[in-house]
Structure 1
Amino acid sequence: MSYELIAALMFSSMMLMLLTGQRVFGAIGFVAVIAAFFLWGDRGGFDLGFAAAIKLMKWYPLLTLPMFIFMGYILSESRIADDLYKMFHVWMGGLSGGLAVGTIGLMVLISAMNGLSVAGMAIGATIALPELLKRGYDKRMVTGVIQAGSSLGILVPPSVVLVLYAMIARQPVGQLWLAGVVPGLMMAAMFVIYIVIRCRLNPALGPILPPEERAMPMGEKIKLLGAGLLPLFIFFAMMVPFVNGWTSLVESSAIGAIAAFLAAVLKGRMTREVFETSVRKTLGISCMFMWIILAALAFGAVFDGLGAVKAIESLFTEKLGLSPWMILILMQLSFILMGTFLDDTAMLVIVAPLYVPLVGALGFDLIWYGVLYTITTQIAYMTPPFGYNLFLMRAMAPPEITLRDIYGSILPFVLVMIVALATIMAFPELALWLPGYVYGN
């Protein structure tokens, strides 16, 4: 049996196991170890998993993962996110669609707190969605806003998914984070522009709040502004030393976790229940990611040993005669297809052993490609009929919001994200300028 056929058999077996409902890390790791066993015997099968585990344990930057997740859960469980939304409520309620714009701002700050799109979705659905509906906002508009805003969670630093990409692609985490800043803020600005224009054309979609709801002495407004921007101060306290080279990545993540903990203590919200819940959720998410990385490393090692990447490169460039850009676009389309039944982490670990080396061999920048990957997977998350985020939103939304409403709400925002993706593909410097400026100096 040829190596190309073995690689195809591995990939198809893994997809079959995933379709039967197996856990992602279990399916990927099982196929990797069994393939190694048949290819290289008992020693190869045993050593593969052991070597992947040792490599994972020795990867020092992985310590950032539980730190950032803990920071996000502390800020979420201590209800500091509630202060954020109250701030936007008071300061932006006088603008048509102002609360929807404020919700995008909330999502950007939540992304800077947590780095997970699911966290942004949960906070938006529980805090922002009921308030927006109560004040007469169009239900299709607001469900689309929350889903689109939550997509920023894996792009704006500290993105947990970009940490995983860095591990698999062997790229610097700091550069990947900085590469996501400009595209993430650009996409948030595009969402805001769309909301403002649409609400100006049809004010009934986002009515202005009555003056009595916004009435508050300026001193109270300033105080609320300070409370609402607390997570932003935590973010800068963590990122500024890292960007300036004063601290390492792991040290900066520890600063963020400690700052979030102290903020909750100073506000009198650090109860035993909040602490236990945050630690328990942090442990669960961190272990899940570590198992997935472990499986991905083992799967990638087998693919490297088979030379599957070179075979696929030869198939696309020599036998099919496709240009590098055509191959790249096909990769992005495959992410959208996989996004109908997989989450972003699963998509990454399944195709990374193939795509990442292939992208490098085609001459593309792997930092830039990491940004393309994150945007494309979030588009896949929200693309009907089976987008992962669509069903997550349905589970969190009130009964009056139907699945039909959710499908209809997201299409304009998906188009905005496609425009953003095309812009970054056409102008790579949007992603590469900031890491080049910081690390170039």
Structure 2
Amino acid sequence: MSYELIALLMFSSMMLLLLTGQRVFGAIGFVASAAALLMWGDGGSEMAFSAAMKLMKWYPLLTLPLFVYMGYMLSESKIADDLYRMFHVWMGPLNGGLAIGTILLMVAVSAMNGLSVAGMAIGASIALPELLRRGYDKIMVTGVIQAGSSLGILVPPSVVLVLYGMIARQPVSQLWLAGAVPGLMMAGMFIAYIVIRCWMQPSLGPSLSKEERAEITWEEKISLLKAGILPLFIFFSMTGLFLMGVTSLVESSAVGAAAATVAALVKRRLTSAVMEEVLRKTLGISCMFMWIILAALCFGAVFDGLGAVRAIEDFFVGRLGLGPWEILILMQLSFILMGMFLDDTAMLVIVAPLYVPLVKMLGFDLVWYGVLYTITCQIAYMTPPFGYNLFLMRAMAPPEVTLSDIYRSIGPFVLVMTLALILVMIFPEIAMWLPNTFYGR
């Protein structure tokens, strides 16, 4: 049996196991371990052991639990609730204003967390009940929360870009800067869609009534602006110090976690119950990530041993005779396909070791490609039938929001994301202007 056929059999077996509902790390790890033992005998067991040792020595991985801790601390201490109240009051008088405020909340949460899971949890628990109570269209607002939460993996400090930087050997600071402008551009495109849609159909997003607006004094409005001070402090203490070179990546994540804890303490919300919940959720998410990375490192080692990277390169360039841009588009489509079954971390650690050398060989900038990969992950998150965000929303949404509503809600936002992806592909300066300017590349 040829190595190409073995690689294809491994990949198809993994996908089949995932379709049966097995845990991601179990499916990936089992296929990798079984293939290694069948092809190399007892020596194949060293691959899984080496992958485990590589993970344990991966010092930058310390950023993962610290960023996750920071996000959950902000969520459980209700600092995100204060932010939403501020956006609710200031944006409420507009048609669709609360939906716009939700997008702005998601941008703020993304800038303090780096994961889409925390954004989804905050949006579904804080924003969604309020939007539904105010008479907003449930299909539109469900899409708003899913799209807004996806910004967490693009806007700094994106954990996905940290992992990509480790695998692709690219500076995380440049990746964060490269993701900032596309992330803000995408948020602006979401807001523009909401404004246009609610202008055409005001019933989809009614504004606050005159009576409610009269009850809110200017003193209260000004006072609510203080809710934005703590998030700005946390963002600067973490990302700002890192970009200025004062702290390393791991030190930056530790500063962010400490700043979030201090913020909760200042607000007098750091109770034992809050700390217990934060630590429990942090441990659960961090362990899930580490198991997936461990299994995927083993899978990648077997693939590398088969020479799959060279086989993929020969297939695209030699047999199909495709040009660089055609290969790049096929790679993005493959991410969308895999996103129906895998989360962003699993896709990254499985496919990046195969695709990154190919991207470099084709002559593309690896920092720019990291942004393309992340935007494609955002699209894949919301693509039926098995998009990651679709099922997260289903698990967190109230009973009146059905799976059919969730599927119908994401169409316009997927189109907006696809347009953003095309713009970044056609105009790389959208992503590269900020890192090029900051570092003089």
Question: TM-score interval w.r.t. the shorter chain?
Answer: over 0.9
Q: Is 2:153 aligned against 1:170?
A: no
Q: Is 2:411 aligned against 1:431?
A: no
CA drift of 1:14 comes to 2.0
In 2, distance between residues paired with 1:268 and 1:211? 34
In 2, distance between residues paired with 1:202 and 1:154? 31
Amino acid at match of 2:436: G
1:215-294 aligned within 5 A: 215-294=215-294
1:233-277 C-alpha deviation (Å, 9 max, x unpaired): 211121111111111111111111111001101111000011011
Q: Is 2:116 aligned against 1:117?
A: yes
Counterpart in the other structure of 2:402 = 402
Amino acid at match of 1:423: L
In 2, distance between residues paired with 1:208 and 1:271? 36
Tell whether the 8 Å contact from 2:372 to 2:421 is kept in structure 1 after alignment. yes
In 1, distance between residues paired with 2:131 and 2:70? 27
Query: Bigger shift: 210-219 or 152-161?
Result: 210-219
Tell whether the 8 Å contact from 2:7 to 2:303 is kept in structure 1 after alignment. yes
Change (3 A) 1:394 1:33: closer
1:360-379 aligned within 5 A: 360-379=360-379
Change (3 A) 1:334 1:56: same
1:117-164 C-alpha deviation (Å, 9 max, x unpaired): 122112111111111111121222211111111110111111122222
Counterpart in the other structure of 2:84 = 85
Counterpart in the other structure of 1:330 = 330
Q: Secondary structure at the match of 1:322?
A: coil
Query: Bigger shift: 89-98 or 352-361?
Result: 352-361
* Unaligned ranges ≥5, structure 2: none
CA drift of 1:310 comes to 0.9
In 2, distance between residues paired with 1:26 and 1:390? 22
Q: Is 2:3 aligned against 1:16?
A: no
Query: Bigger shift: 53-62 or 190-199?
Result: 53-62
Query: Bigger shift: 256-265 or 330-339?
Result: 330-339
Q: Is 2:44 aligned against 1:45?
A: yes
Counterpart in the other structure of 1:356 = 356
Tell whether the 8 Å contact from 2:156 to 2:239 is kept in structure 1 after alignment. no
Query: Bigger shift: 259-268 or 58-67?
Result: 58-67
Counterpart in the other structure of 2:132 = 133
Amino acid at match of 2:412: P
Counterpart in the other structure of 2:197 = 198
Amino acid at match of 1:402: T
User: Kindly, what percent of the aligned residue pairs are identical?
Assistant: 77
Amino acid at match of 2:101: G
Counterpart in the other structure of 1:70 = 69
Query: Bigger shift: 94-103 or 366-375?
Result: 366-375
In 2, distance between residues paired with 1:182 and 1:337? 26
Amino acid at match of 2:222: I
CA drift of 1:107 comes to 0.6
Amino acid at match of 1:26: G
Amino acid at match of 1:51: S
In 2, distance between residues paired with 1:233 and 1:46? 48
CA drift of 1:389 comes to 1.9
Q: Is 2:167 aligned against 1:160?
A: no
1:151-187 C-alpha deviation (Å, 9 max, x unpaired): 1011111112222222332322222222111110000
CA drift of 1:229 comes to 4.0
TM-score (norm 1): 0.95
Q: Secondary structure at the match of 1:384?
A: coil
Counterpart in the other structure of 1:420 = 420
The number of aligned residues is: 440
Change (3 A) 1:205 1:51: same
